Amino acid sequence: MSAKPIIALDADGVLLDYGLAYASVWERAFGRRPLERDRDAYSPLDRWAVGFLEGERLAALRACMDEQFWSSVPPLKLAVEACHRLHDAGYDLVCVSALARQFEGARLRNLRDAGFPIERVIATGRSAGERSPKADAIEQLAPLAFVDDFLPYFRGIAPSVHRALICRGLNGTPNVGPELDEIHSSHGDLWKFSEWMLDPGRTLRSGAA
């Protein structure tokens, strides 16, 4: 376990712009870049003018979501800078992503190449059931805070961990309902979280100090 206090960070939607990368992988698969129709959409399927895929076309898109794709997702605006602020303040940053484990190395290369001060990625994969696929990893890490942009991924996270929700892409967001009451703080992006985290007057609403 790290001697420094840990902050666990989601990747897509917190560190990396998966929505923007989706347009690039679509172009790679089908030879044309889709038109952007709603920059404020939560899902890339709503952000871009793309149709519902099935069969061979769905298989073609998934085939392009390979090592190359997962090692080249662009960073979100000010996310690298936010991480350096937190790192320089003494926090150990660990990326916890619900990505297939086979792409864990690609995700780490992506983060390092983009300039993030992150040395460890935990790829949890996805799981059936109500419990977050990240819950076991968060339990083992015992971080001071866990930052994610998908409300259901806080299910099963221990009360001792500060739960910080990034509220991006408000059109079509899944981050609604009574589970919001379980969130300790919400922020527009990671930069705003870092500002809040480094504010001497802030209070972590968890069992951690």
**pLDDT tens profile 88-115:** 999 999 999 999 999 999 999 999 999 9
Does 204 reside within a domain?
no
Mean pLDDT, rounded, of the chain: 94
Provide the pLDDT for residue 206: 61
Long-range pairs for 193-198 at CB < 8 Å and ≥24 separation? 193/82, 193/147, 193/164, 193/166, 194/82, 194/83, 194/85, 194/86, 197/7, 197/86, 197/89, 197/91, 197/145, 198/85, 198/86, 198/89
- pTM, two decimals, is 0.93
Q: Examine the fold and report which residue of 26, 53, 70 is the final residue of a domain before the chain moves on.
A: 70
In a domain, 61, yes or no: yes
What region, left, alpha or beta, does residue 130 occupy, with left being phi > 0 and alpha being psi -120 to 50 degrees?
A: alpha
Q: Are residues 112 and 184 in the same domain?
A: yes
Do 24 and 102 belong together in one domain? no
Answer yes or no: is 207 within a domain. Answer: no
166 and 192 share one domain: yes
- Whether residues 42 and 63 fall in one domain: yes
129 with 49, same domain: the answer is no
Residue 209 confidence (pLDDT) above 70: no
Number of domains observed in the structure of the chain: 2
Give the percent of the chain with pLDDT over 90.
89
Six token digits for residue 50: 């793309």
- The answer to whether residues 48 and 146 belong to one domain is no
User: Does 45 lie in the same domain as 103?
Assistant: no
Could you tell me if 90 and 178 lie in one domain?
yes
What is the mean predicted confidence (pLDDT) over 146-163? 96
What are 15-43's pLDDT values in tens digits? 999 999 999 999 999 999 999 999 999 99
pLDDT for the residue numbered 208: 45
Contact 169, 196 (CB under 8 A): no
Q: Do 171 and 140 belong together in one domain? A: yes
Q: Do 92 and 168 share a domain, yes or no? A: yes
Whether 126 and 112 map to the same domain: the answer is yes
Tell me: do 160 and 65 sit in the same domain. no
Q: Give the residue numbers spanning the domain of 89.
A: 6-17+74-197
